[in-house]
C-alpha cells in the first residue's frame, strides 16, 4: 500500500535499503523484528496520523548494545522481544516513562509497574513433543528426560532461557530452580542452533521433547514449505494437560531518553498499544494480542487451536526475580 509519509531504513547485513519516499524529520524506530513485520505496522500508523516514520532493524542484542554504547542518534521508540531486555535498559537509566495514553488499556500484568515499558503481544514458552506422546507431563518431567538424553533446549545463556528460568524462580524459589537448571543444561541433547533446530531434532527422533517458544511451530504449520508443514503436523505444542501453566513473555515497546520527537513518540506508543495495532502485530509474528483469550481477536492461522494457560509470574513481575535467576549463568547474557 503506497504511503508518502513513510521512510524505511532497514538494516540487513550491514546495508541500508531506503524506500522511494522521504520526509525531512521523521520519527525513528529501532525494531528487533524485521521489515516484513514492522513496515506494515508503521505504514498503518502513518496513514492514520500523517506522521512520517523511519525504522532500523537491529536483531539479537543490537538494540540493547547500541543504546548502552550511546554512539548513535537515539531512536524515538524501540520495539524489543523479551521483558528482560527492556529491564536491562531501564536499569541502565536509558528509558523514560510511557504516557498514560499508552498504558490506559493495558492490563498491569503486561507492563512495567513504573511505566517504563509495555507489552503489545505475548508468547508462550513450553514443550514441543510428538503428537502421539504424553510426555513430558510437566516441568519436573523435563529433568527426567534430560537425564535420559531425551531433552533438547538451546544453550542456557540465551535470553529466552533466562526469561524461562526467571519465571521458574518466581514459582519455585531459587534453590529448586537452580537445581532444575543444572540438571537440564548439564544433560540436555546439544543441538546447535536456536528453537527451530530443537524442533527439527524432535521431529527427527533425536529428542522426545524440546523447550521452545510457541510461534516457531505455528509458523511452520502455516508455511508454504511442505517440509515445514510436515514437521508441524506430527508435533504439538504445550503440556498434555492444558491446565498446566505455561511461561509467558512479551514483545515490548519503550521510549529511550534523548529521542528527537518525544511528543510524537508518545503518540506512536499510544497507537501501538491499541487493540487494533496489537492484533495486527501479533498476527504477523504468530504471537497473541494482550487481551487474548478474553477478547476473541482474529489470530494468525492455527493459533486459535492452541489451548494454553498462561501462568504467573507475569512479565511485570519478572524483573524482581531476575537477579536470583542470573546466579546460574556464568557468562554475560546472550540476547
Q: Which domains does the chain have, with CATH numbers?
A: 9-122+248-303 (3.40.190.10), 124-244+308-326 (3.40.190.10)
Q: Judge whether 312 and 247 are in contact, CB under 8 Å.
A: no
- Using DSSP bridges, classify how beta strands 77-81 and 27-31 pair: parallel, antiparallel or unpaired: parallel
Q: Judge whether 97 and 115 are in contact, CB under 8 Å.
A: yes
Could you read off the pLDDT of 145-191 as tens digits, one per residue?
Answer: 999 999 999 988 899 999 999 999 999 999 999 999 999 999 999 99
DSSP letter for 297, please: -
Residues 6+ apart with CB under 8 A from 47: 1, 3, 5
pLDDT, residue 133, reads 83
pLDDT, residue 4, reads 28
pLDDT, residue 82, reads 95
pLDDT, residue 57, reads 96
Could you read off the pLDDT of 266-281 as tens digits, one per residue?
Answer: 999 999 999 999 999 9
Partnered with residue 237 across adjacent β-strands are 128
The string of DSSP codes covering 182-219 is: HHHHHHSB---SSHHHHHHHHHTTS-SEEEEEHHHHHH
pLDDT, residue 263, reads 97
DSSP letter for 137, please: -
pLDDT, residue 32, reads 95
- How far apart are alpha carbons 176 and 40 in whole angstroms? 44
The C-alpha cell that represents 244 in the structure block: 498446566
Geometric angle at alpha carbon 81, from 185 and 93, rounded to 5°: 100
Cell 506508543 belongs to which residue? Answer: 269
Q: Judge whether 174 and 183 are in contact, CB under 8 Å.
A: no
DSSP letter for 328, please: T
pLDDT, residue 9, reads 35
For the chain of 335 residues, list the mean pLDDT of each consecutive stretch of 10: 34 32 78 94 97 95 94 94 96 98 97 98 95 88 96 91 95 95 95 96 96 95 94 93 94 98 98 96 94 72 84 94 89 49
Amino acid at each position: 500500500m503506497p504511503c508518502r509519509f513513510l521512510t524505511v531504513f532497514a538494516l540487513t547485513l550491514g546495508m541500508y535499503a531506503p524506500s522511494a519516499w522521504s520526509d525531512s524529520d521523521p520519527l525513528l524506530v529501532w525494531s528487533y523484528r524485521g521489515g516484513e513485520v514492522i513496515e506494515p505496522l508503521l505504514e498503518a500508523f502513518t496513514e492514520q496520523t500523517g506522521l512520517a516514520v523511519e525504522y532500523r532493524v537491529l536483531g539479537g542484542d543490537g538494540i540493547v548494545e547500541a543504546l548502552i554504547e550511546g554512539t548513535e542518534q537515539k531512536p524515538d521508540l524501540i520495539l524489543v522481544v523479551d521483558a528482560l531486555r527492556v529491564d536491562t535498559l531501564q536499569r541502565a537509566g536509558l528509558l523514560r516513562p510511557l504516557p498514560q495514553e499508552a498504558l490506559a488499556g493495558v492490563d498491569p500484568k503486561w507492563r512495567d509497574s513504573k511505566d517504563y515499558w509495555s507489552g503489545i503481544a505475548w508468547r508462550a514458552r513450553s514443550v514441543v513433543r510428538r503428537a502421539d506422546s504424553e510426555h513430558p507431563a510437566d516441568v519436573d518431567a523435563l529433568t527426567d528426560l534430560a537425564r535420559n538424553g531425551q531433552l533438547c533446549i538451546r544453550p542456557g545463556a540465551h535470553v529466552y532461557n533466562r526469561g524461562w528460568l526467571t519465571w521458574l524462580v518466581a514459582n519455585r524459589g531459587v534453590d529448586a530452580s537452580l537445581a532444575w537448571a543444572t540438571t537440564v543444561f548439564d544433560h540436555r541433547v546439544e543441538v546447535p542452533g536456536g528453537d527451530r533446530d530443537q524442533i527439527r531434532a524432535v521431529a527427527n527422533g533425536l529428542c522426545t521433547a524440546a523447550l521452545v517458544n510457541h510461534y516457531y511451530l505455528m509458523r511452520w504449520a502455516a508455511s508454504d514449505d511442505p517440509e515445514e508443514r510436515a514437521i508441524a503436523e506430527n508435533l504439538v505444542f504445550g503440556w498434555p494437560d492444558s491446565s498446566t501453566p505455561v511461561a509467558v513473555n512479551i514483545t515490548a515497546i519503550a521510549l529511550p531518553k534523548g529521542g528527537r520527537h518525544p511528543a510524537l513518540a508518545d503518540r506512536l506508543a499510544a497507537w501501538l498499544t491499541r487493540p487494533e495495532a496489537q492484533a495486527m502485530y501479533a498476527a504477523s509474528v504468530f504471537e497473541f494480542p494482550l487481551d487474548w483469550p478474553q477478547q476473541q481477536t482474529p489470530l494468525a492461522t492455527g493459533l486459535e487451536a492452541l489451548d494454553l494457560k498462561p501462568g504467573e509470574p507475569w512479565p511485570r513481575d519478572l524483573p524482581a526475580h531476575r537477579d536470583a535467576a542470573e546466579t546460574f549463568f556464568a557468562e554475560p547474557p546472550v540476547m
